């Protein structure tokens, strides 16, 4: 650790010199109020910014070891401190200090979800902040005075504004921790109660717009109200009791007229795998942590997936037990997505008719008559959905307004009417009896057991430097653009960055063609939980811009890399 005097001497000596001179600052310094690590120095003012870490003494806040003992407390606290920093920074305002990114201070800005983040790391002694800064320049010349002001005035000011004990909102922190713990406990308790999802009474599900994750204005939004027959009550660790609609394991069908809130409800269920912040409206929308949104995604690559339970005897005798393609159709992509999700450990499938392949979902009596089974490769999902639950324990929640065939296979039918759910299970049974479906069930053989597949590093080992998160939701792998827009439960850019870093890490460590994909992704996530993001970072220090994905999204990303070899 170098002294402030040395730091200043070095920096002042660089004034007016070519920008690359900043490289001399790489190192660790004791700057009075905090310790600064300069881990990576940008090569010019327009290049990706300089990566630093600032270590502040925990005395600043005096959080007690008790407050941050468990992993859950730690995640909630680090998330909260990141939010404090982001709002302090937005108040400080952007100070530009010269050309390019000169003078910019960049920290992660969390959205509506509380997640494990690399932006702040707390230990019993320190608060470590990971951020990026644009070192100031005039053209391509160093502006040492401005750099000094940034590091010795702006940053301390920012840290003081965010973390100073005298102004810190301890009440809000403790309520965020409590909320996070309650949400985790509620999620864990779902399984014991035979539930897949829970939607709290009064929840605001609707969002402000199609491109915003913020809640719709209270004046416009219809708060959620559970039907009496589906209401469950939960007692949480904080002592709080919460009631809401429970969606049971099995097959649940959400019906209702167009524009009555079906997709909005399903979206809230999808997002319920995460914990939302106070004020989001979905604080008590809690879903089984392994629930996966499934959709059709034509054009995607599929590698060696057994989709024979859904698609069989393709034209020209093409195999579907180890199905591979660089250009899947709607139905083959959706079948593959289901099988891959179960392989990765999914406990529930979430589907919305808006994004499903119709021919995969249903095949009615008339079509069965017109196109004989031998000429139709697809076994519609309606004929497998019960089997998935009965044989594999995988539940399905399905939005479907257009086909009554699903009424026969549903355990529960929820009708959305003017944004209010009604329990239509009994009504649906009556309708099913009155109007029996004349179609034939098309299943002749049971689903094959789900097979583990093994990623092999051969094409990717020399691309490690070139696995990068670019524009969300696209991943770069070498020259390839991997479109991850079908990963609808990937919530932010930080997860995409973490996915890129975790892929590099796994390729470097344990992907060797013998480890199943599910193990690869679960081990990767466990690595971060046990040893932090710094342990997967291939560079010195740690970027402050990672958020933790689920192992499921990580696996879904692996599955979409075209150059990956699967055994």
Q: Which tokens in the block code for residue 137?
A: 């320049």
| 3-state secondary structure (DSSP) of residue 240 | coil
Q: Closest Cα to residue 186, out of 234, 226, 249, 244?
A: 234
Beta-strand pair 395-399/348-352: parallel
- State the binding partner of 133 from ligand ADP, Mg ion, none, CB within 5 to 8 A by kind: none
> What does the alpha-carbon distance between residue 84 and residue 94 come to, in Å, rounded to a whole number?
16
**Residue closer to ligand ADP, measured from CB, 264 or 320:** 264
Which of helix, strand or coil describes residue 513?
A: coil
Q: Which of residues 407-436 bind ligand ADP (CB under 6 A)?
A: 416, 419
Instruction: Give residue 435's Cα distance to chain centre.
Output: 42
- The pair of three-digit structure tokens given for residue 420, joined into one six-digit string: 């209010």
Binding-site partner at residue 259 among ligand ADP, Mg ion, none, CB < 5 to 8 Å by type: ligand ADP
Burial label, 210 (beta-carbon count in 10 A; 0-12, 13-18, 19+): exposed
Name the minimum Å distance from CB 247 to Mg ion. 17
**What distance in Å separates the CA atoms of residue 398 and residue 354, rounded to the nearest whole number?**
11
- Minimum CB distance to Mg ion smaller for 247 or for 328: 247
Cα of first residue to Cα of last residue in the chain, in angstroms, is 48
CB closer to ligand ADP, 216 vs 314: 216
Residues 386-405 that bind Mg ion (CB under 5 A): none
Binds ligand ADP by CB under 6 A, chosen from 45, 200, 250, 261: 261
Which residue in this structure is represented by tokens 């034209």?
A: 315
Q: How far is the CB of 210 from Mg ion (least distance, A)?
A: 12
**CB-CB contact of 351 with 397 (8 Å):** yes
> Which of the stretches 149-157, 251-259, 306-314, 558-566 binds ligand ADP when contact is defined by CB under 6 A?
251-259
Q: Does 221 bind ligand ADP (CB under 6 A)?
A: yes
Chain centroid offset of residue 165 CA: 32
Nearest approach in angstroms of CB 399 to Mg ion is: 6
Q: Which 169-208 positions form the footprint of Mg ion (CB under 5 A)? A: none
> How near is the Cβ of 334 to Mg ion at its closest, in Å?
17
Q: Tell whether residue 262 is a contact of ligand ADP (CB under 6 A).
A: yes
| Of the candidate residues 61, 68, 133, 205, the single one contacting ligand ADP (CB under 6 A) | 205
From the list Mg ion, ligand ADP, none, partner contacted by residue 261 (C-beta under 5 to 8 A by kind): ligand ADP
Number of residues that bind Mg ion (CB under 5 A): 2
Task: Write b or e for each residue in 415-429: b if 16 or more Cβ atoms lie within 10 A of its Cβ, otherwise e.
Answer: bbeebbbbbbbeebe
C-beta closer to ligand ADP: residue 30 or 420: 420
CB of 344 to ligand ADP, least distance (A): 27
- Work out what residue 518 binds among Mg ion, ligand ADP, none; the CB cut-off runs from 5 to 8 Å by kind: none
How many positions of this chain bind ligand ADP (CB under 6 A)? 16
Q: Does 264 bind ligand ADP (CB under 6 A)?
A: yes
Q: Choosing among Mg ion, ligand ADP, none, which partner's interface includes residue 98 (Cβ < 5 to 8 Å by kind)?
A: none
Pairing of strands 412-417, 275-276: unpaired
Count of positions (residues) in the chain? 567
Q: Is 518 helix (H, G, I), strand (E, B) or coil?
A: helix
By beta-carbon proximity to Mg ion, the closer residue of 263 and 527 is: 263
Window contacting ligand ADP (CB under 6 A); options: 76-84, 213-221, 232-240, 377-385: 213-221
Distant-in-sequence, close-in-space partners of 364: CB < 8 Å, separation ≥ 6: 403, 405, 439
Residue of minimal Cβ distance to Mg ion: 263
Q: What angle do CA 101, 104, 105 make, to 5 degrees?
A: 140
205 binds, among Mg ion, ligand ADP, none (CB under 5 to 8 A by kind): ligand ADP
Site for ligand ADP in 280-339 (CB under 6 A): none
Is there a contact between 343 and 517 (Cβ–Cβ < 8 Å)? yes
Binding mask 258-297 for Mg ion (x = CB under 5 A): -----x----------------------------------
The smaller minimum CB distance to Mg ion, of residues 376 and 488, is found at: 488
- C-beta closer to Mg ion: residue 75 or 254: 254
Helix 330-343 vs helix 551-559: crossing angle, to nearest 10:
140
The residue among 7 and 224 lying less far from ligand ADP, judged by its C-beta, is 224
Choice between 262 and 439, CB closer to ligand ADP? 262
What DSSP letter does each residue of 431-498 carry, written as one string?
HHHHS---PPP---SPPPPPPP--EE-TTTGGGGGGEEE-STTEEEETTEEEE-TT-TT---HHHHHH
Rounded CA separation 272/274 (Å): 5
Structure tokens at 223: 């708060």
Judged by CB under 6 A, the residue of 8, 106, 185, 222 near ligand ADP is: 222
Check residue 258 for interaction with ligand ADP (CB under 6 A).
Answer: yes
Helix or strand holding residue 34 (H, E): strand 34-40
Q: Give which of Mg ion, ligand ADP, none residue 264 binds (C-beta under 5 to 8 Å, depending on kind).
A: ligand ADP
Number of H helices, E strands in the chain: 14, 27
Cis upstream peptide for 473 (omega within 30°)? yes
DSSP string, 174-206: HHHHHHHHHHHHHHHHHHHTTEEEEEETT----
263 binds ligand ADP (CB under 6 A): yes
Tell me, residue by residue from 347 to 366, as one string, x for binding to Mg ion by CB under 5 A and - for no binding: -------x------------
The residue within the footprint of ligand ADP, chosen from 256, 272, 473, 549 (CB under 6 A), is 256
- Single out the residue of 84, 106, 90, 94 nearest to residue 167, CA to CA: 84
Cα separation of 514 and 455, whole Å? 8
From 18-26, 115-123, 252-260, 293-301, give the range in contact with ligand ADP by CB under 6 A. 252-260
Q: Judged by CB under 6 A, does residue 259 bind ligand ADP?
A: yes
Interface ranges with ligand ADP (CB under 6 A): 205-206, 216, 220-222, 256, 258-264, 416, 419
Interface ranges with Mg ion (CB under 5 A): 263, 354
């Amino acid at each position: 650790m170098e002294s402030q005097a040395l730091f200043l001497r070095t920096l002042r000596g660089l004034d007016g010199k070519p920008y690359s001179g900043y490289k001399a600052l790489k190192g660790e310094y004791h700057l009075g109020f905090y310790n600064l690590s300069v881990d990576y120095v940008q090569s010019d003012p327009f290049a990706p910014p300089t990566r630093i870490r600032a270590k502040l003494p925990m005395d600043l806040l005096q959080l007690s070891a008790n407050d941050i003992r468990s992993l859950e407390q730690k995640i909630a606290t680090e998330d909260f401190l990141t939010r404090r920093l982001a709002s302090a920074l937005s108040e400080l305002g952007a100070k530009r200090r010269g050309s390019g990114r000169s003078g910019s201070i960049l920290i992660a800005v969390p959205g509506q979800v509380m997640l494990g983040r690399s932006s702040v790391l707390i230990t019993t002694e320190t608060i470590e902040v990971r951020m990026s800064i644009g070192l100031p320049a005039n053209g391509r010349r160093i502006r040492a005075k401005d750099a000094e002001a940034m590091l010795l005035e702006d940053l301390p000011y920012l840290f003081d504004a965010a973390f100073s004990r005298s102004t810190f909102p301890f009440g809000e922190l403790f309520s965020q921790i409590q909320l996070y713990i309650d949400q985790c406990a509620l999620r864990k308790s779902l399984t014991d109660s035979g539930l897949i999802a829970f939607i709290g009474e009064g929840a605001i599900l609707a969002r402000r717009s199609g491109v915003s994750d913020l809640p719709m204005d209270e004046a416009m939004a219809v708060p959620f109200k559970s039907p009496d027959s589906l209401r469950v009550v939960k007692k949480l660790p904080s002592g709080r009791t919460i009631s809401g609609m429970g969606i049971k394991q099995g097959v649940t069908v959400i019906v209702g007229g167009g524009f009555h809130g079906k997709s909005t409800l399903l979206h809230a269920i999808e997002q319920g795998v995460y914990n939302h912040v106070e004020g989001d409206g979905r604080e008590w929308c809690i879903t089984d942590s392994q629930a996966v949104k499934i959709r059709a995604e034509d054009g995607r690559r599929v590698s060696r997936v057994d989709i024979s339970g859904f698609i069989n005897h393709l034209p020209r005798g093409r195999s579907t037990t180890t199905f591979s393609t660089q250009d899947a159709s709607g139905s083959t992509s959706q079948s593959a997505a289901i099988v891959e999700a179960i392989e990765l450990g999914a406990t529930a499938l979430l589907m919305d008719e808006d994004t499903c392949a119709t021919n995969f979902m249903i095949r009615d009596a008339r079509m069965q008559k017109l196109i004989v089974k031998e000429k139709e490769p697809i076994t519609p999902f309606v004929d497998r959905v019960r089997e998935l639950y009965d044989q594999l324990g995988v539940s399905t929640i399905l939005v479907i307004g257009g086909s009554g065939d699903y009424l026969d296979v549903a355990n529960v039918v929820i009708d959305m009417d003017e944004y209010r759910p009604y329990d239509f299970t009994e009504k649906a049974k009556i309708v099913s009896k009155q109007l029996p479906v004349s179609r034939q069930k098309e299943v002749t053989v049971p689903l094959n057991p789900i097979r583990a597949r093994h990623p092999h590093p051969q094409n990717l080992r020399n691309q490690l430097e070139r696995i990068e998160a670019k524009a969300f939701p696209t991943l770069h792998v070498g020259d390839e653009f991997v479109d991850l827009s079908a990963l609808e439960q990937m919530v932010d850019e930080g997860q995409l960055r973490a996915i890129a870093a975790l892929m590099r890490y796994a390729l470097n460590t344990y992907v060797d063609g013998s480890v199943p994909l599910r193990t690869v992704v679960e081990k990767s996530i466990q690595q971060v939980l046990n040893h932090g993001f710094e342990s997967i970072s291939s560079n010195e220090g740690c970027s402050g811009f990672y958020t933790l994905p689920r192992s499921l999204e990580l696996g879904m990303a692996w599955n979409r890399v075209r150059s990956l070899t699967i055994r």
